[in-house]
């Protein structure tokens, strides 16, 4: 029996950008992070008030992801983690790969009840990774942290940028993350926002080839493979299953296919602005002055993002629009309209042969 997650009432994931302070200088940084903290960051007390407000979504509570910048730049990080855990949130964290990510810090994160540690590795060699991260030594620091996390039993996700510069390295990265013992490999398909405007994305045909490869290798590896800002991975998987005659096997959102911007995702910036997603920085309000639950459930932008029948261009005509929906962030970056078509997807509506089912398990 088909089951669907009802994202209209509550998000699956809430990303809280604790700070934009970071010691790295990543060439693709969405946040355009800098070494110092912003004077208007949410204070500790405001952060505690935010956690209380997020409880208004009710059960099941969203999964809270602490991100940045580098969350380790917040001196109250562990206080905020403890407060979130006390309120019943599952908490994951995405620290930067710097000298600050020591074994002692990793032990404290495990003891604090962190659900998942997500680290970014954008190349299978120090030269490749450090050239994107902008700081020599980041590769070694990140790799050391990943191996320490495995020794500590801290579940590990590795995030990898997908763009023209990294495409040829992806097979080597697959072997690399396999050796690290990750639970999930998340591939972030470049959206030209922030400093990412300076990098070259894949062409639509190149993106399709990468996703086709991922759909094949995911059946061979012991970890989940997830895509970010490439929701047409679900369409690629559905078409592959149809060709193999197994399209009745449902595609699971939890098992690596993600959710769309504003439709399962809520993003809160370091200064409290509320966005549909980090790569879609269209503020709909501020947690200092607005009810974040009401914004998510009732703001016209969020409502529109949850209704694929409102999408324009070929995304609005596509028979996979409820399975995929395209990257709303990339549509906005390319056209200024978050309801327009995702320019990275090469699929032309009407080409499918069988139906596929998506549910959350």
Mean pLDDT for back-to-back runs of 10 residues, the chain (361 residues): 62 96 87 86 98 97 96 97 98 96 98 97 96 94 97 97 96 96 96 86 96 94 94 91 70 54 95 97 97 98 94 94 92 96 94 48 36
* Beta strands 91-93 and 116-120, pairing class: parallel
- For residue 51, what are the contacts with CB-CB under 8 A and spacing of at least 6? 80, 83, 84, 87, 89
Residue by residue, DSSP assigns 9-61 as T--SEEEEE---B-S---TT-TT--BSS--TTSPPHHHHHHHHHHHGGG-SSP
- pLDDT confidence of residue 33: 78
Nearest to 308, CA basis, from 251, 243, 225, 234: 234
Distance CA 273, CA 16 (A): 10
**DSSP classification of residue 62:** P
Distance CA 253, CA 212 (A): 18
CA 244 to chain centre: 29
- Phi, psi dihedral angles at 180 (to 5 degrees): -75, -15
- Phi, psi dihedral angles at 227 (to 5 degrees): -115, 145
Angle formed at CA 143 by CA 138 and CA 148, multiple of 5 degrees: 125
Q: Can you name the residues that pair with 224 across neighbouring β-strands?
A: 184
- Phi, psi dihedral angles at 91 (to 5 degrees): -130, 130
Contact 62, 266 (CB under 8 A): yes
- pLDDT confidence of residue 254: 45
In order of their start, the domains of the chain are: 13-307 (3.20.20.70)
Nearest to 35, CA basis, from 134, 143, 123, 108: 134
Distance CA 35, CA 32 (A): 10
- Where helices occur in 56-101 by DSSP H, the ranges are 77-86
- pLDDT confidence of residue 316: 94
Residue by residue, DSSP assigns 224-273 as EEEEES-TTHHHHHHHHHHHHT-TTSPEEIIIII--BTTBBEEEE-TTSE
Length of the chain: 361
Q: Residue 138, SS3?
A: helix
CA atoms within 13 A on the CB side of 199: 25
Residue 89 buriedness (CB in 10 A; 0-12 / 13-18 / 19+): buried
Q: Can you name the residues that pair with 285 across neighbouring β-strands?
A: 274
Distance CA 351, CA 361 (A): 28
Element (H, E) at 157: strand 156-162
């Amino acid at each position: 029996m088909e089951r669907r997650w009802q994202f209209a009432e509550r998000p699956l994931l809430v990303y809280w950008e604790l700070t934009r302070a970071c010691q790295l200088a990543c060439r693709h940084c969405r946040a355009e992070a800098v070494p110092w903290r912003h004077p208007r960051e949410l204070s500790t007390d405001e952060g505690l008030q935010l956690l209380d407000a997020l409880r208004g979504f009710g059960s099941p509570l969203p999964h809270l992801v602490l991100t940045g910048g580098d969350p380790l730049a917040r001196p109250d990080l562990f206080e905020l983690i403890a407060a979130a855990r006390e309120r019943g949130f599952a908490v994951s964290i995405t620290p930067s790969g710097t000298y600050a990510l020591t074994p002692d810090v990793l032990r404290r994160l495990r003891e604090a009840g962190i659900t998942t540690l997500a680290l970014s590795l954008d190349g299978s060699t120090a030269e490749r990774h450090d050239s994107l991260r902008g700081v020599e030594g980041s590769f070694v620091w990140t790799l050391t942290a990943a191996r320490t996390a495995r020794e500590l039993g801290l579940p590990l996700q590795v995030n990898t940028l997908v763009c023209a510069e990294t495409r040829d390295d992806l097979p080597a990265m697959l072997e690399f993350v396999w050796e690290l013992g990750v639970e999930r490999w998340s591939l972030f398909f470049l959206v030209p926002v922030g400093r990412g405007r300076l990098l070259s994305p894949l062409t639509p045909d190149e993106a399709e080839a990468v996703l086709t490869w991922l759909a094949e290798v995911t059946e061979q590896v012991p970890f989940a493979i997830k895509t970010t800002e490439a929701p047409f991975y679900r369409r690629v998987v559905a078409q592959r299953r149809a060709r193999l005659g197994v399209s009745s096997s449902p595609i699971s959102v939890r098992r690596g296919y993600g959710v769309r911007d504003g439709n399962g995702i809520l993003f809160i910036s370091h200064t409290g602005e509320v966005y549909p997603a980090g790569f879609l920085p269209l503020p709909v309000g501020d947690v200092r002055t607005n009810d974040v639950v009401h914004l998510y459930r009732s703001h016209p932008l969020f409502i529109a993002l949850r209704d694929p029948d409102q999408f324009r261009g070929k995304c609005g005509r596509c028979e996979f629009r409820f399975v995929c929906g395209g990257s709303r962030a990339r549509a906005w970056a390319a056209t200024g309209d978050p309801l327009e078509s995702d320019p990275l997807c090469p699929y032309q509506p009407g080409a499918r042969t069988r139906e596929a089912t998506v549910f959350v398990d």
